[in-house]
Each structure stands twice: as C-alpha cells, then as structure tokens.
C-alpha cells in the first residue's frame, strides 16, 4: 500500500490471432487486482471520499448498503487499512453482525453497523435524513450508497489516466453510471467509450446526464461528452443478475483462454459485448481497453445458484 491508496492496477495485454491479424490491440485494466476486498471500481469510488475525510480531519466515513453489500465491505476494509473509522447503515433491522459472512467481516474490520428498517433505509438520499445522521455523527463524512458522488467520479477518472494515451477505446459495464461518467470525463479527445448497462430498459444516457449535472457540468458540455459514448443495451441478458448458459460458457471460455475471471453480473456481460463488437471493421488498427471493474466477490453466490463451480 502507498501512503494513500494501493497503487496502480496492471494493464494486461490479451493475445488472440484473430485480433492480431486485424491489428487490434486488446488490454484489460485489471482493477480486480487492486485489493482482495477493496476491489475494482469500489476502490476508485472510495479513494477521494477517504482522502476528503482525512483532509477535513473527520474521524471516519459513514455509508450505506444492503446485507451483502460489496461497497460496505470495501469501505470497512479500506478504512481499516488507512486508520479511518467507519459506520455502515444496513438495510434491514432483522439483520445482525452474524447474519452473513459479509456483515461479519465488516464488523471484524471495525465497522460500526446500524441496522435500520427498510422504510428508513429508503430515505438514504433524502437531505433531511442525511442531516439527521450528520448531526448524530458530526465527526463522520457521509458517502452515498455505492460511493456514487462527485468524489467517486473523480476517482474513476484515474482508470483512464493510468492507461497509455495511445488507447482508442474503453469498454465498461454500467450500473449507476458513476464509473462510466468518471471514465468519460478523463478521455482524451480521440478516445471513445462503449458502455454496457447491466439492467434491462436502463436509460443510460439520461442517467449519465443526471450524474454529470450533479457534478456541475453544463448542459452543453454534457451533450458534447455524451457524443463520445456508445451505449450497447442488448447485452443485459434479461436484466440485473440475470444470465444465460451462453454467458456462463463465454465466461468459462474467457478464463481458459486468458486466465482472467469475470462475473456474470457485470464484467462477463461487457466482455461478451466487446468480443462481438470487435468483429466490426471500424476496430481494425485500434487499441482497446476492457475495464475489469471487479465483482468477483459474488462468484460463490452465483456458483450456489448454478449448482456447480464456475471456474
């Protein structure tokens, strides 16, 4: 670990005869290797929230999550590594520290867990509710669920800054759009971003507009930025956390071929989409980056649903 943070993630080149014969260079930005618990875009979104807490001399971070939240676990672990305290507001007052391994690990890492009823949790983005929490915990910096705020966007810009300027194209899975907005704002003029929303019927461009407006960008610069985005909304495989046998087979194939694990919720979908897209002539002679945004913590749950090992 550096003084602050965990250092840059590797940019791994993938080797494939088909791509090479068409002079296509494909890399994976291995954010899944940043840390075993603070993996992928979780760290990108947390980094400057933690830095800000430290700068403001706050003693900790207060944030929100569900029973199996990777964001809560990442926050607990990153705060523990950096000597910062953490509070997790957890959806469901029927839960406890011993309800599951995620919550148990959060508690072990020193996170103070507050279990709240679902109707109270639903207020997590309301100004009044946040003010009440802020009054109760004045020494804590409140970070929204998933790290989806301005500082989260700033952290995600580093995904691009850590890559070679010669890259032409980035591929990224999309949930709240925070990560993709950060990547978009960091692109050089010649670079392009393709996003794969993992939710069915997701209004990607509208969501990105909202997120960028909250980051205080003007309408005209937002529409300029969005011209550099392609949205592929046919790769959700039925919706959030849905997948098909074809996707599972692709994830296994990708692992055999490149030795990289993907998950069926986010990274498997974007890798599948990229595999198809690269068939298009417009990618000839281009360098592209698949952003591996993590998500591997969910694999045991997926394997339990599948009834067999994924890898």
Of the candidates 9, 149, 178, 204, which one interacts with ligand PLP according to CB under 6 A? Answer: 178
DSSP classification of residue 145: G
Which residue is it, tokens 């899944």?
32
DSSP classification of residue 92: -
**Beta pairing partners, 75:** none
Q: What share of the chain is helix, strand, coil (3-state, %, to 5)?
A: 45, 15, 40
- Cβ closest to ligand PLP, residue 191 vs residue 204: 204
Q: How many residues bind ligand PLP (CB under 6 A)?
A: 15
Q: Measured from the CB of residue 172, what is the shortest distance to ligand PLP in angstroms?
A: 7
Interface mask toward ligand PLP for 116-155; x: CB under 6 A: ------------------------------x---------
Interface mask toward ligand PLP for 36-55; x: CB under 6 A: ----xx--------------
C-alpha dihedral sign at 106, 149, 27, 258: positive
Stretch that binds ligand PLP, among 81-89, 168-176, 224-232, 235-243 (CB under 6 A): 168-176
Of the candidates 173, 262, 271, 290, which one interacts with ligand PLP according to CB under 6 A? Answer: 173
In 134-286, where do the E strands start and end?
140-142, 169-174, 192-197, 229-231
The CA–CA distances, whole Å, from 11 to 61, 173, 289, 293 equal: 30, 17, 8, 13
- Cβ closest to ligand PLP, residue 102 vs residue 179: 179
- Cβ closest to ligand PLP, residue 73 vs residue 103: 73
Alpha-carbon dihedral 182, 37, 75, 269, rounded to 10 degrees: 40
Cα separation, 278 vs 276, whole angstroms:
6
Of the candidates 295, 299, 302, 310, which one interacts with ligand PLP according to CB under 6 A? Answer: 295
Cα separation, 170 vs 126, whole angstroms:
34
Of the candidates 149, 293, 302, 310, which one interacts with ligand PLP according to CB under 6 A? Answer: 293
- Cβ closest to ligand PLP, residue 60 vs residue 294: 294
Which residue is at the shortest CB distance from ligand PLP? Answer: 295
Stretch that binds ligand PLP, among 103-111, 112-120, 169-177, 302-310 (CB under 6 A): 169-177
Is 91 within 8 Å of 113 (Cβ atoms)?
A: no
Q: Is 63 in the site for ligand PLP (CB under 6 A)?
A: no
């Amino acid at each position: 670990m550096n003084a602050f943070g965990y250092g840059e993630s590797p940019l791994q080149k993938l080797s494939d005869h088909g791509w090479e014969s068409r002079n296509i260079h494909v890399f994976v930005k291995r954010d899944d290797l940043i840390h075993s618990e603070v993996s992928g875009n979780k760290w990108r979104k947390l980094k400057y929230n933690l830095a800000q807490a430290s700068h403001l001399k706050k003693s900790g971070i207060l944030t929100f999550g569900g029973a199996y939240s990777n964001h809560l676990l990442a926050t607990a672990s990153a705060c523990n590594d950096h000597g910062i305290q953490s509070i997790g507001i957890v959806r469901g007052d029927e839960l406890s520290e011993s309800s599951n391994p995620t919550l148990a690990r959060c508690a072990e890492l020193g996170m103070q867990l507050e279990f709240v009823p679902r109707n109270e949790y639903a207020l997590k983005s309301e100004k009044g509710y946040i003010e009440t929490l802020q009054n109760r915990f004045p020494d804590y910096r409140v970070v929204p669920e998933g790290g989806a705020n301005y500082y989260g966007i700033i952290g995600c810009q580093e995904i691009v800054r850590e890559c070679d300027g010669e890259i032409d194209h980035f591929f990224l899975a999309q949930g709240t759009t925070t990560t993709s907005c950060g990547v978009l704002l960091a692109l050089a003029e010649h670079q392009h971003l393709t996003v794969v929303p993992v939710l069915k019927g997701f209004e990607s461009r509208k969501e990105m507009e909202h997120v960028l407006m909250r980051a205080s960008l003007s309408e005209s610069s937002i529409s300029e930025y969005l011209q550099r985005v392609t949205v592929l909304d046919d790769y959700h495989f039925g919706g959030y956390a849905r997948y098909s046998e074809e996707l599972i087979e692709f994830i296994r194939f990708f692992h055999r071929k490149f030795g990289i694990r993907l998950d069926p919720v986010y990274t498997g979908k974007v890798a599948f989409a990229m595999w198809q897209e690269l068939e298009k002539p417009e990618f000839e002679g281009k360098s592209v980056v698949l952003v591996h945004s993590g998500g591997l913590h969910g694999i045991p749950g997926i394997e339990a649903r599948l009834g067999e090992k994924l890898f």
